[in-house]
Amino acid sequence: MSKLSHLDDKGAARMVDVSDKAETAREAVAESLILLSAEAFDAVVSGTVPKGDVLAAARIAGIMAAKRVPDLIPLCHPLPITGAQMEFEPLAERNAIRIAATVKTFGKTGVEMEALTAASVAALTIYDMVKAVDKSAVIASVRLISKSGGKSGDYRSVGESRSDQIKSITSPAPLATPKTANAKKQSAKPQVLMGEVAAARAPAAPHAQRDAFRTFMTSHRLRATQWAKEAGVPVGEIMAFLTGRSRGFASETADKLARAAKVRTDDMFK
């Protein structure tokens, strides 16, 4: 009566019987995109949101959500999740956060819903964390990027790029141009810029430098976009350091930021 696997011959809902399926390694990658105001975006990446570390909360929420799908989505099978990873890509020019959720299992059915749910709940968590600053934040999209394993084989999204899709969405905060939709899932992983150096003359470990830099921004009431403009440096360099996508600044960049803030370079990392 129906080609939908969740319906029987009489059209009644059912949980699909996977007893005879082979167990295989399975993986799914899903993404969501949330659009923020400039103020909310700066607060997220600089760690100054009143509720706390937004991306840390969203990361845990996404992983937890991947493990609770059978409690949320009717007819989904309980699965032994063997891996769940959340990645966040700030799109600085357009005040957006791209979320990528990767979920793995070894079993008889796939983890597409787990990845989609993880990406969705992470986006909702970001909204919850920033709503006091920006109630107009928009979750612009949630979609499957790729899956592997199982009888149906591999899948990778194709068609128009995410950039083209996003441009068609009306929102108060326009988006940056992300990578194309058929990019490999590895593209969501942070990349280190060539030629970068450790945060200028600071002996501390990278994470300690990052925490010190964030504290410096907070104590001096510095907003990333305005500070970068005054210093004459790309705001993306500040965002990349704050979010761990780079290990530090080029010496010239660090010196420009220090001059704009009217401090010594070393003062930004103490």
What is the residue-level pLDDT of the chain in tens, covering all 270 positions? 346 565 556 555 556 555 666 788 999 999 999 999 999 999 998 888 888 899 999 999 999 999 999 999 887 888 889 999 999 999 988 899 999 999 999 988 889 999 999 999 999 999 999 999 999 999 999 999 999 987 777 888 875 444 444 444 333 333 333 333 343 333 333 333 333 333 434 344 567 888 888 888 888 888 888 888 899 988 888 888 887 778 889 999 999 999 999 999 999 988
Query: How far is CA 137 from each of CA 104, 117, 190, rounded to the nearest angstrom?
Result: 30, 19, 24
pLDDT score at 180: 37
Q: Give catalytic status of residue 53 as yes or no.
A: no
Tell me the residue type at 177.
T
Catalytic residue among 128, 211, 255, 266: 128
DSSP secondary structure letters along 207-255: HHHHHHHHHHHHHTT--HHHHHHHHTS-HHHHHHHHTTSSS---HHHHH
Instruction: State the Cα–Cα distance between residues 235 and 212, nearest whole angstrom.
Output: 18
Closest residue by Cα to residue 50 from 136, 138, 129, 135: 129
3-state secondary structure of 5: coil
Q: What is the pTM of this model?
A: 0.63
**What is the structure's pLDDT at 68?**
92
Rounded Cα distance, 256 and 8, in Å: 66
